[in-house]
Amino acid sequence: MQQQIRDILVEIGEDPEREGLLDTPKRVEKSLKFLTRGYRQTLEEVVNGALFEAESDDMVIVRDIEFFSMCEHHMLPFFGKCHVGYIPKGKILGVSKVARIVDMFARRLQIQERLTRQISGALMEILGAEGVGVVMEARHLCMQMRGVEKQHSVMTTSSMVGSFRRELATRNEFTRLIR
């Protein structure tokens, strides 16, 4: 990867031999590997067995989980907040694992819609919940620093599964609680 990054430096008109850039290919490789580490993680590993039995069937919400991802079209960051809710059916998840699942999918090349759906899908898969809701709000740098150059637009996506999709009251409770 370092040779390819060096080639890119030459293509954009830089001199990869100048002092400030000497270690740049190495740094960029390390940084890119970090930003895409979700490809090398699995759900099992991320959850690490932190599933607990629960009698409660009341809604659980984790709000304002910040995330950083990269759009697959331009490989530029998009970032914002993710809100997750679910209604358990016998099992609850260690709260930090909700955020870890968000990160696992965010640290890949993504579009926001798919990222949102992958998070709800993964939660449904491991929890077998009554329902899951995921809402994501993000700013896309490919829309801000290039392209249409709109600085204030925020994209909101949602994925509602099970009772969150079927029942308006459940969905309303979730959206009210994440406000």
Ligand X SMILES: Nc1nc2c(ncn2[C@@H]2O[C@H](COP(=O)(O)OP(=O)(O)OP(=O)(O)O)[C@@H](O)[C@H]2O)c(=O)[nH]1
Binding residue ranges for Zn(2+):
71, 74, 142
Among 16, 21, 74, 165, binds Zn ion (CB under 5 A): 74
Q: Is 113 in the site for ligand X (CB under 6 A)?
A: yes
Among 18, 73, 150, 166, binds Zn ion (CB under 5 A): 73
Which range in 15-23, 63-71, 105-113, 170-178 contacts Zn ion by CB under 5 A? 63-71
Output b/e per residue, 60-82; b: 16+ Cβ within 10 A: bebeebebebbbeebeebbebbb
Angle between helices 112-127 and 95-106 (to 10 degrees): 140
Q: Is 148 in the site for ligand X (CB under 6 A)?
A: yes
Instruction: Work out how close the CB of 17 gets to ligand X at its nearest, in angstroms, rounded to a whole number.
Output: 31
Q: How far is 177 from 125, CA to CA, in rounded Å?
A: 24
Among 30, 40, 73, 150, binds ligand X (CB under 6 A): 73
Judged by the rule CB under 6 A, the positions of this chain that interact with ligand X are: 71, 73, 111-113, 140, 142-143, 147-148
